[in-house]
Structure 1
């Protein structure tokens, strides 16, 4: 499903998961490429395995979005009940200055960042680890694991290695 707001920005609904009431959807800004095929213009805050720039297919609205092409960004999630705005502002500045990344979303204490994968998975930790050390709030990669259903399975997708080759 898609909606166009008053500014002409296209928003699509992607399946983020399920709860006791049924499917949970997230609305994401996107650019339509073809029927059911979209390029994401921001990383999601709930949906796993997606990031800004990914080209996805959402032909089946009740299934997870199918990634057709990676957009070259890591999606970083930070979940907290409350995050000091000064710490958020500092992290956003450091991610932009050091990594060329962006704060794509903020809802209460929850944050979503996009960080270019060209830095490599182990070279982006600096600003996020400093944020964790200052606030006690942990951060997570949201689009690097094969098995999204098992929190204990840390098998990596390694899509960023193909981008660097």
Structure 2
């Protein structure tokens, strides 16, 4: 008898648009009926990163993070497609300089996983230089407590101190 492959694609709630829920499809490893380990950082959903263990009991609510995988999710939003030369350079520099990965590309939107052991200051300096060189903005996607209020900058502070 063949074992079931625990790798699945899951729909993660990412918010509402005009009262309609928006979902993002992410690769995950099924741990049990409602519990998953994320295999990629999201490009749209907030408060999640690769390696997190999450519970999704209510599909129309944010996933509950049961334990952190030790990674920051950095999201980049650009109106236009990002040129391949910039993507290639960013991917190489993130891997070499931070031990991170480029997990997803959708048009001008990127998701990256960066190990928290780098510290926020080092990661911030890296992506601030990227912004200065390219004009492209970046965002820590899994550090804020209140996911539904973009003006509330209360930090979760789950990561080690710099």
Consecutive unaligned residues in structure 1, runs of 5 or more: none
In structure 1, what is the Cα distance between the partners aligned to 2:102 and 2:16? 26
Q: 1:36 aligns with which of 28, 34, 43?
A: 34
Q: 1:63 aligns with which of 61, 64, 67?
A: 61
User: 1:8 Cα shift?
Assistant: 8.1
Contact 1:87 1:131 in 2 (8 A): no
Contact 2:6 2:29 in 1 (8 A): no
Length, aligned pairs only: 157
**Structure 2 counterpart of 1:123:** 122
For residues 147-158 of structure 1, what are the structure 2 equivalents within 5 Å?
147-158=146-157
TM-score, normalised to structure 1, is: 0.89
User: 1:59 Cα shift?
Assistant: 1.2
With over 3 angstroms needed to count, the CA separation of the structure-2 counterparts of 1:102 and 1:140, relative to structure 1, is same
TM-score, normalised to structure 2, is: 0.91
Give the aligned CA root-mean-square deviation in angstroms: 1.8
- Secondary structure, counterpart of 1:67 in structure 2: strand
Larger deviation: 58-67 or 14-23? 14-23
For residues 1-165 of structure 1, what are the structure 2 equivalents within 5 Å?
9-20=7-18, 22-82=20-80, 83-161=82-160
Contact 2:52 2:65 in 1 (8 A): yes
Consecutive unaligned residues in structure 2, runs of 5 or more: none
Contact 1:28 1:44 in 2 (8 A): yes
